[in-house]
Amino acid sequence: MSPTPPLPYANPVVLFNAIIHPNIKVIDRFGAYSNLINVSGANVETIGENAFLNCSALETADFPNAKTIGQGAFGRCESLTSVNFPLVETIGRGAFTNCAFTDASFPSAKEIGNQAFDGCVALKTLELPQVTSIGDWAFVRCSDNLESITLGVTPPTLGLNVFSDGGANNNLAANITFNIPVGSRDAYENIPAWATIFATAKAICEVGFYDLTVNAGSGGTVSGGGTFDFSCGESVTVTITATPDDGFRFLRWERDGVRVSRDAEYTFTLTEDITLKAVFTNRPPINAGWLLINQRKKQIEEEEEE
């Protein structure tokens, strides 16, 4: 009888992927497998301390329902370039130390632990729109390449030396553009720690969106409305189109009953939320020559009656 072949993860030469069983919601410790390439767990909610510590070949981590990433969970995963944690709320101390991803988004994260991204020297863009607290040294040794951080309306509390090189330089935000919602800058700058960071940052970019609603009166259809993002004072150019039904023709675009354009294809710069209405008619266009003839005819008839 032939011996049972070894499992792939028992052989450090054989690379393997791991899909966590759907019944597992908590990973306490997976193991420091140097040959693990990809890991995913559709129903995992908690990734415990040091769960994948030293999985040096790990490239992707996909946990769409995880809420908590424990201390050191992906520490020293030096090949980790892709992460998907859309629902995670807590990122523990040193959770991603020395990871290799360049772009990361944690749209639900609220708490960022101390040294959470320590040594992520490749990190360029980071989205934390719901974050409420950022721990000590959270982005230590990240500042050389970190270009963009997106934050929310409410300024998160800051720990010590969040943007540090690990030495004497403790505020290295000169390369970073901070993206914050329109109208929130004063709230940040009223907090001394944030005011200091913003004073040395590359740029403070207020971002938001405009809603353009286009409606059609009877006799036609319209297109081109929607939600349009803007940032850093950039203008937003849009084009809307009115198309008349058979037997109708386009008259004008109106805003609050006031004409804004007679062009069926109307291009303009969007600077606020607006609603426009396309007006159509089934009347034939007025011909100036025909109008003059009829006016003269009416004049002659009136003269003959006299």
pTM of the full structure: 0.75
Residue 294's φ and ψ, nearest 5 degrees, are: -70, -35
Residue environment code for 189-211, b if the CB has 16+ CB neighbours within 10 A, otherwise e: beeeebeebbeebeebbbeebbe
| For residue 169, pLDDT beyond 90 | no
SS3 291: helix
Per residue in 234-287, pLDDT (tens digit) is: 779 999 999 999 999 999 999 999 999 999 999 999 988 999 999 999 977 655
Per residue in 92-118, pLDDT (tens digit) is: 999 999 999 999 999 999 999 999 999
Element (H, E) at 228: strand 226-231
Instruction: Give ∠ CA 181-184-189 in degrees, rounded to 5.
Output: 130
- Can you tell me the distance from the alpha carbon of 173 to that of 232, in angstroms, rounded to the nearest whole number? 18
Instruction: Write down the domain spans for the chain.
Output: 208-281
